[in-house]
Each structure stands twice: as C-alpha cells, then as structure tokens.
Copies of this chain bind each other. A is one copy, B any other.
Amino acid sequence: MEGLSKKIYLELSAPTEEDSRSDQQRILEALSAEGIEEQVHMPVHILRMIYPLVENAKWKITVSLGWNGENWEILDIEAGNQTGHHYGLAVDLGSTTVVARLLDCVSGRVVKEVSCFNRQIQWGTDILSRIFYCKDNPRKLEEVRQATVDSIVECMDKLDAQWLDECRAKEADRKVQRKTEECDNTEVDGARRGGASCREDSDAESITRSCVSMVVAGNTTMIHFLLGMDAFCVFYTPHAVHGDRPGFQPAKDLGIPIKGYVYCYPSKSNYLGGDIISGMIDTELYKKEEISVFFDIGTNGELVIGNKEFLLCGAGAAGPALEGGVVSTGMRADTGAVDEVKIRDGKILVHVIGNEDGEFQKMDSGNKSDKQEALKNGGKPLQIEAKGICGSGIIDLIAELFLEGWIDIRGKFSPEKSPLIQKKEGQWCVEYAPGLHFYQKDIDEFIRTKSAAHTMVEIMLRESGLELDQAERFYVAGAFGKHVSKESAITIGMYPDMDRDHIINAGNSSLEGAAKLLLNRALLKDIDQILEEMVYIQFAEVEDFLELMVAAQALPHTDFQRYPTVMKKIQERQAKKENVISIKNDINVKKIINY
C-alpha cells in the first residue's frame, strides 16, 4: 500500500575493499533499488543509530519511512525483517469525543479502535467556553493544548493496553500449544517471534509508539488547540483563522509520541474544518458523476454539495436543538438516553441506551413505566431507566407525534388527541418517559433547527442551479447519521424525501477519511483539489434565507409536494386509526403556518 509510511526490508551487501560506499549510501541506494523514487532524508538520529545496529543485524534490516509532505524520511531502522509489524494511527479529534483507530498498514485492516472524552471538556462542553478560557492567555492555551494532546495519548494508551492484553492471551495460548507441540521447533520459533513484543520478561513494546505516521481530522478549533494556537479567531469576524494548512508536522514538535509525522487535515474555513475535508475523502463525493449532499449535523451543521465538477460548501447553526442543553430534557447519546420512540395504540414506547436493542419501555397514559413488570417478566436484567432524550430520540418522538396527529403541521400540540398531552408549567407537553416531559418550546426549538438544516440544503442546491430532487445521494455524517431513523428524519422534513437507499449513513467519515489517507498517500493531491474547488457560501449573505427558513418551519414542509411518501404515511397511519385528517392542498397549509 502506498500510504504515509513504509517499512522496507533490505538485505544489504557488507562493505568490501571494492565496495566501500558509506552505510548511508548503501541504505539509500538499496531503497532506491526497492523502487523508492523520491528523495529520502536521513535525519541525524538515524545516522547515529546505523552503527553498530546494521552490522550486528548482519546487514539485514528493516527501514521505516515516513512521508513528510515532500519527501521520505527514515524514521527507524530495525534488525531483521520487521515489515509485518507496520501500524499507523488515524484520529478523529472531535470536540466531545476523540476516536483513535490503529491500522495495520500492511493489510489495511482495522486492528482496534478506541475513544475517550476530549479532555478540553473540563473547560466547558461547548467550544466557545474553551476558546474564551484560554483567549489571549498563552499559559492557559498551553493547558488546553496539552489536554488535547493528552486526549490523543489516552487513546494511544488504551490501544496499547488492549493490544498487550491480547498479546498476553495469545502468549498463554502458545505456551499451552508449545507443550503439546514440543517436537515441532519451527512452529514454536515462529510463534515466539510473533509474540516477541508481549513477552513478560522484556519491556513490553508499545504498538502505538511504534507507529510512524498519524492522521488527525478535526474541526478548525480542535486543530488550533492541538497545535497550540489561540482559537478565538474561529468565531471572531472577519473569520480569518491563524492556520488552516498545518500539513505534516514532526510528531515530537506536537508532543505526540510516534516516530514520524502527524498530518492534520486542512480546513477550508473557520466553520468548515478538516473533519469535513476528511469526510469528502471518505465519501469520494468530489469524484462522482452524480450530485451528492454531505451533511454533518452537530452543534453546527456543515454541508457540502457537489460532484466531480463542483463543490459548494457552507455551515450554519443547524443542530443545536439536538444537543444536550437546548431541549429541556435533552442529553447526549449516553446510557439512560431515550434514543428511539414509537407511538403504538396511544402508548409511547421508548428505547433507552444501555438496554438491549429492541427492548422498549411503555409509557401508558398516566402510568409509571412498567419497569417492575419487566423485572418479573422472565427474569430479564433490570432495565435502565430513562434520564433524558438524545437527538435520535427527539426526531423519532416528533415524527411519531406528527404521524399520530398529536401535533399539527406547525408542530403545535393538539391536546385533544391524547391523554398523554398535559399542561405543565404553563406549556403543553407530553410525558415520553416517567417524569420526563417534552414541551411545546422544545418542539419549536427543534423545528427551527430542522428548518435551518433544510434551508441550507435548499440554498446550496439552488446556488448550484439545481432542484432538491437532483441530489442523488444524501450522506449524513457523524453520530446523527448513525443513530437517527431515516424514516423519522424524512417525516419531519429534516432529510429530503428520497429513495431511502440513497440516504447514506456516512458514519464517522472524519475518522474514515483519516484512515484512508494514512493508507493512501495519493489522496493528498485530492485534498488539494478539494480545497481548490470548494466554494464557500456565506448563508448570512443569502438574501432570502429567513424567508426560505420560515417556509421550512412546518412538518415536513409547507410545500407538501416535496414529501410525497410522508403524505402517504400520514394517510396510512390516520386511516389505520380511522381518523383521517384531510390534507387538501399546500395552499391551506401555507395559510396555517402564516400565523
């Protein structure tokens, strides 16, 4: 694989009177003979380690090369053939969670993936608090930088610990095997070598520290913090950030304990960071004939629309209602969060994270949760109680309320539709889980979010001279794409009403793009191309943004014709309940929402 690192086994000829080339030339020429066409730089610490290592290794060595952006650099020399032991790290530096993936650079296989909280959280869950914490204060900025690096190192340590555990388990297996196979020496030797890094009598080798290259994808603020740059610029107008193309930096200059270079994905602008560029690399949107929409919905929504001929991008506040802290009982997608909601026969059924998949808790009208009942029910383990609701739960809930007719097209409660709709603290609300209420203002807040998201897509398509139905693929990145029900998101008009198979959960495309680049150096050119082609649309400068957003502030949209399958679904659901609400035409609807 032509990745960002290489390990090459060389069998060098020993110097003779006739061939008195220097060790350095001997190695460089052997690399060239192995097909390395680029300049290879040998840093002084490698010059120092040549002797006596190479001689002791009887001139059979493995050279680790790391790409520094323009050339190869020799970053390690090991005795013997160590090409099978070649790993790299891809990191998604999220503002909440840092995910690190250990890749086998020989096979491209994912060896292991771990995550940890971003230690910046100590200065606030929202990015702005962190920015203000260290703004214009180099000492505090250094604290934040260190915490960022520590988060990555924590992931590396986790990977190492898991790796070591596995090695020890394998070693134990081998010991058993050795006893039974003592006659077959070759086999035993092979096993011993393979497990060399895990022998209890030697210092355990760290697999992450043996990595040559790391690719990090993160938003503009995260990368500023990782590199130790003040990030107030990201939010300050004019939005000129300090650094947007960090490229390859020596890992040691960043304080990251790997052997070679750390590549940070560049950002297009303050709000369109390296995580999105990495997502482009992952989805290959920029290479396709068909037009795709790439949407990353978090605190901000980042959006890219295009194909191999054009790329438009933009960002806006599209996701806040889906985060904890905006909706009154909103929380992160963590244990105890309601992440799925169904309404069946007038009852709200919720799934709580931590419980088994498909295990729903019922919320009857006025009843407490049937936890006790579940307990008795066949001796199943105690169910985890709901503590709040996360993004996917919110979307499910609103979609179901809408399909059931408990809320109208404007998202307003119709209290007559269910006894579960109550008035609390002067507002209508529904108790979706014991003691947990979803209020009218929560719905209103959410509708603003979803209409912003919808409007962003609409504007971007319009800027490209396209209609909504001309986008053939709709990629949804991040946790949102992973957990949210497509059906619900379409029902409430967050996603366009399109072929469900063309709505693609891009997963952690930031991490995926980082991993792809780690294994394929040629993508660096693609990144340059993406940055060059991308045109950033300032939504603030779009004159009719607010107008379009108001039009989108209905469920699923004031223009019902955009959502034929939703219309059908409503009719079906209502028909089932023999309580059909006739929706005659969108003109009537427009009247309704023009309140």
Q: Which residues of A contact B (CB under 8 A)?
A: 15-17, 19-26, 28, 39, 41-45, 47-48, 50-52, 69-71, 136, 227-230, 233, 237-247, 249-250, 253-254, 269-270
Tell me if B51 and A15 are in contact (CB < 8 A).
no
How far is B270's CA from A24's CA once the two chains are assembled, in angstroms? 13
Complex alpha-carbon distance, A28 and B26, angstroms: 38
Cβ-defined contact, B243 with A20, below 8 A = no
Bound form: Cα–Cα A36–B20 in Å = 40
Q: Which residues of B contact A245 (CB under 8 A)?
A: 22, 24-25, 28, 42
In whole angstroms, how far apart are the Cα atoms of A550 and B243 in the complex? 71
Is A41 a contact partner of B247 (Cβ separation < 8 A)?
yes
Pick the contact of A253: B44, B69, B237 (CB < 8 A): B44
Q: Which residues of B contact A241 (CB under 8 A)?
A: 22-23
Instruction: Choose one: B48, B227, B239; the contact of A48 (CB below 8 Å).
Output: B227
A-B complex: 5 closest residue pairs judged by Cβ atoms: A15-B240, A22-B244, A47-B243, A24-B243, A15-B238
**A243 and B50 in contact, given A41-B69, A254-B44 (Cβ under 8 angstroms):** yes
Known: A69-B41, A71-B70. Contact between A47 and B16, CB under 8 A? no
**Residues of chain B contacted by A249 (CB below 8 angstroms):** 43-44
**Which of A69, A240, A249, A250: most chain B CB closer than 10 A?**
A240
Which residue in chain B gives the minimum CB-CB distance to A538? B17
Question: Does the CB pair A20–B238 fall under 8 Å?
Answer: yes
Can you list 12 A-B pairs, Cβ within 8 angstroms, ordered by A?
Answer: A15-B240, A17-B238, A19-B238, A20-B240, A22-B242, A23-B241, A23-B243, A24-B244, A39-B70, A43-B253, A44-B254, A52-B136
> Which of B39, B43, B238, B253 interacts with A45 by CB under 8 Å?
B253
For A21, list chain B residues within 8 Å (CB): 240
A243 with B22: CB separation less than 8 A: yes
Closest to A69 in B: B41
Which residues from chain B contact A44 at a C-beta distance below 8 Å?
A: 227-228, 246, 249, 253-254
- Whether A242 touches B15, Cβ cut-off 8 Å, given contacts A47-B229, A48-B227, is no
Q: How far is the CA of A270 from the CA of B45 in the complex (A)?
A: 21
| Oligomeric state, in copies | 2
User: Cβ of B51 and Cβ of A233 under 8 Å apart?
Assistant: yes
Give complex CA distance A362, B23 in Å. 56
Least CB separation from A145: chain B residue:
B48
Task: Provide the bound-state CA to CA distance between A237 and B247, in Å.
Answer: 44
Chain B residues whose CB sits within 8 angstroms of the CB of A229 once the complex forms: 47-48, 50-51
A22-B244, A26-B240, A47-B228 are known; give 13 further A-B pairs, CB within 8 A.
A17-B238, A20-B269, A22-B240, A23-B242, A42-B243, A42-B245, A44-B246, A45-B253, A47-B246, A50-B242, A51-B229, A52-B136, A70-B71
- What residues of B have a CB within 8 angstroms of the CB of A48 in the complex? 227-229
Instruction: Give the shortest distance, in Å, between A418 (CB) and chain B (any CB).
Output: 50
Inter-chain contacts of A42 with B (CB < 8 A)? 243, 245
Rounded to whole Å, the gap between the CB of A590 and the closest CB of chain B is 35
How distant is the Cα of A237 from the Cα of B22 in the complex, in angstroms? 12
Among the listed B20, B239, B244, which residue makes an inter-chain contact with A25, where contact means beta carbons less than 8 Å apart? B244
Question: Which residues in B have their C-beta under 8 angstroms from that of A237?
Answer: 17
Query: A227 contacts which of B26, B47, B246, B270 (Cβ < 8 Å)?
Result: B47
Q: How far is the CA of A45 from the CA of B246 in the complex (A)?
A: 11
**CA–CA, A253 and B229, complex, Å:** 24
Q: Within 8 Å CB of A250, what residues of B? A: 43
Expressed in whole angstroms, the minimum distance between the Cβ of A229 and any Cβ of chain B is 6
Query: CA of A364 to CA of B435 in the docked complex: distance in angstroms?
Result: 121
List residues of chain B with CB within 8 A of the CB of A244.
22, 24-25
Complex interface: chain B residues within 8 A of A25 (CB): 244-245
Cα separation A247 to B253 with both chains bound (whole Å): 21
A244 to B22, CA, bound (A): 6
Q: A51 contacts which chain B residues (CB < 8 A)?
A: 229-230, 233, 242
**In the complex, residue of chain B having the shortest beta-carbon distance to the beta carbon of A223:** B47
A39 to B247, CA, bound (A): 12
- Least CB distance from A450 to B in Å reads 29
CB of A245, distance to nearest CB on chain B (Å): 6
**When chains A and B are docked, how far (Å) is the Cα of A188 from the Cα of B92?**
56
Cα(A238)–Cα(B19), bound, Å: 8
B residues near A20, Cβ cutoff 8 Å: 238-240, 269-270
Task: Note all chain B residues with C-beta closer than 8 A to A246.
Answer: 44, 47
The interface residues of chain B lying within 8 Å CB-to-CB of A230 are 51-52
By CB atoms of chain B within 10 A, which of A15, A22, A26 has the most? A22
Per the bound structure, the CA–CA distance linking A39 and B243 in Å amounts to 16
Complex CA gap A244/B27 in Å reads 12
Task: Report the separation of the CA atoms of residues A247 and B24 in the bound assembly, to the nearest whole angstrom.
Answer: 12
Distance of A53 from chain B, by nearest CB (Å): 11
Contact A240 B23 (CB under 8 A): yes
Q: How many angstroms from the CA of A227 to the CA of B47 in the assembled complex?
A: 8
C-alpha spacing A471/B370, complex, angstroms: 107
Within the assembled complex, what's the spacing in Å between the Cα atoms of A39 and B70? Answer: 9
Complex CA gap A37/B43 in Å reads: 25
Q: Which residue of B lies closest to A26 (CB)?
A: B240
A136–B51 Cα gap in the complex (Å)?
Answer: 9
